[in-house]
A and B are shown apart, each in its own frame.
Chain A
Amino acid sequence: MTDDDLPGNNPALLPAGLRDLLPPEAETEAGAVESLMDVFAAHGYQRVKPPLLEFEDNLLAGSGAAVAEQTFRLMDPDSQRMMGLRADTTPQVARIATTRLANAPRPLRLSYAGQCLRVRGSQLDPDRQVAQAGIELIGPDAPAADAEIVLVGAEALASVGLDRLSFDLTIPTLAQALLDDAGIVGAQRQALSRGLDRKDVAAVVRHGGKLADVLTDLLRAAGPADRALAALREAALPEAARALAGRLAETVAAIRARAPALRLTIDPVEFRGFRYHTGICVTVYAPGRREELGRGGRYVCGETEPATGLTLFPDAVLRAAPPRAPRARLFVPLGADPARAAALRGEGFATVAALDAFEDTSAEARRLRCTHVLLDGEAVALNTDG
């Protein structure tokens, strides 16, 4: 093979996991992100915009450690220090909250939207550039705060037409509390954690020791919230785990009080992907969709400050949301009244100005993928079949 045969020479080829967004999807995406951000803003979440790059030490400190292996790094030729390209925005917002906004009054409500990069996609989810739009609620450690994150998230998703959602609540620390209490350590803990993660009851029974029964019951309790809460109430839990279960029940009650129709499931011993989380966590699903629309939960901001947050993934949200009608495009022939065109723009049309005179205006309009043409001061819909 000569160099000319290498597929890398095709200018359209992008590195794995990256893509171009074209019309009309790019506009749709921007619009959807703005709808989400509008709902966040309407609930008092003020927008921050952290930079794409930060010094590695800061970016990967604290909650950032969980994404260290997914972070692109490069050296800053200026300071000669290593920098990281964010793979998750939450650690950056946490840094802002504990440094520049350390004196801002609590509860501090912040929101953000932006792109993240990660080193590797997976076979199931090959994207390496992932958009995030999210909120962080910093300061309070209360069921009302955990519930607010879910409620605001649900309202934001409803604004893009997603009204049938399923929120899966978890307490990643519950399983850890049970294992700590039973004194399970080392290789047994590793094998047991893995079994729990894969809901592999056989492995949980094999490695669970005296916890085998309670863990098996909790594994089987995963599902609709009421059933799972009942199972948690009946389970023989040590004090620390009992407190966590109580907090979960209070959070469910707080959500139900405001949004009784919201579909809630609970998975009591799930801890997947919540490595920096310390309390109630949530994953957002849309029935019939195979990917997560968002996730979030309680974590520690800086050294000690309680916080919770929710990150939505606009790419997944858009794939799940009902399609939006693209903006109607109006062809404006040469010599048409500019004031009339401006008025129609005000009505929501995108106007496409002719730069030349055409014998068959409608044919030219169709060629340019316009939906309407301006004739005698009126927007006339084009028959686009022909």
Chain B
Amino acid sequence: MTAPYKAAALEPETTGPLIMALPKGRILGECGELLDRAGVHPAADYADESSRRLRFPTDDPDLDVVRVRPFDVATFVAFGAAEIGICGADVLMEFDYPEIYAPLDLGIGVCRISVAEPQETAGSDDPTRWSRVRVATKYPTIARRHFAARGVHADVVSLNGAMELAPGLGLSRLIVDLVQSGATLKANGLVETEVIANITSRFIVNRTALKTRPEAIGGWINRFRTALS
């Protein structure tokens, strides 16, 4: 048998609060005002990145907030560990979880996912002649898919940060990364050569939760939609 885990099954009907997953870092700051307008008022230390607490009650007994890494928001919601969440479209593109619905574009966390390379190599040859290219990125799926559509196989070097160093140190020819202002690229001698997609943050929902608790989840979608307009 499969090793037992805490299964909601054992409780006949879900009675606990809904869980909303929020991403640490950049987007958390930007979504504070929106959360406020939508009526989500978590315990005060939720936005304090130095707080050790990861799960925060809100003034609504039926909603708790968890704070996780941006990439993990999608995973928590896909598995139904959190029913709703806020997540960058970059993460949704990378994981492509079929279990996640993204009913609202929140219009925050605006940036783009782009291809960049050193100033000196950019435009030095014709990319349509490439068979393969080495790419440093934390978005292996997006990078592979993007180049595959152009008939180029991407050899991905998976990094978790400091992508901008990779071309200069001979780790890769290109990088695929999030670009907000372009300042980091510029400071490291890179130029943005292609925009793969424009990114904003989305309000996301677990598919099964929407099917089985349509009133509660639908209520939250409406509150965020109202908060946006």
Contact = CB atoms under 8 A, between A and B. Distances in A.
Contacts of A272: 98
A223 B209 CA distance: 11
A200 B202 CA distance: 9
B223 to A, nearest CB: 14
Interface in B192-213: 200, 202, 205-206, 208-213
Nearest to B106: A202
Interface in B118-137: none
A199 B99 contact: no
A382 B54 CA distance: 46
B2 interface: yes
Interface stretch (A17-25, A38-46, A66-74, A145-153): A17-25
A361 interface: no
Contact of A166 (B7, B200, B212): B212
A201 interface: yes
Contacts, number: 87
Contacts of B13: 164, 287-288
Contact of B102 (A25, A198, A283, A286): A198
Contact residues on A (Cβ < 8 Å of other chain), bracket: 35 or more
Interface in B51-80: 78-80
A333 to B, nearest CB: 31
A66 B105 CA distance: 32
A319 B9 contact: yes
A265 B214 contact: yes
B170 interface: no
A288 B214 contact: no
Main SS of chain B's interface residues?
Answer: mixed
B8 interface: yes
B100 interface: yes
Contacts of A290: 8, 79-80, 206, 208-209
B147 interface: no
Contacts of A124: 78-79, 97, 99
Given A19-B2, A224-B215, A287-B14, A199 B208 contact: no
A271 B221 CA distance: 21
Contacts of B14: 287-288
Nearest to A26: B1
Nearest to B205: A199
B9 A223 contact: no
B50 to A, nearest CB: 32
B104 interface: yes
Given A199-B101, A199-B102, A285-B208, A25 B1 contact: yes
A216 to B, nearest CB: 10
| Most chain A CB within a 10 A radius of its CB, from B14, B205, B212 | B212
Contacts of A202: 102, 104-105, 200, 202
A100 interface: no
B218 interface: yes
Contacts of A286: 9, 212
A200 B201 CA distance: 12
Given A21-B1, A320-B9, A287 B213 contact: yes
A322 B214 CA distance: 24
A232 to B, nearest CB: 15
A222 interface: yes
B195 to A, nearest CB: 16
29 contacts: A20-B1, A22-B1, A124-B97, A164-B12, A164-B13, A166-B211, A168-B211, A198-B100, A198-B101, A199-B101, A199-B103, A199-B210, A200-B202, A202-B102, A202-B104, A219-B103, A222-B214, A223-B218, A265-B211, A272-B98, A283-B211, A286-B9, A287-B212, A288-B8, A288-B13, A290-B8, A290-B79, A290-B80, A320-B9
Interface of B: 1-2, 7-9, 11-14, 78-80, 92, 97-105, 200, 202, 205-206, 208-215, 218, 221
The 7 closest A-B pairs by CB, nearest first: A223-B214, A202-B105, A199-B101, A290-B80, A288-B14, A288-B8, A200-B102
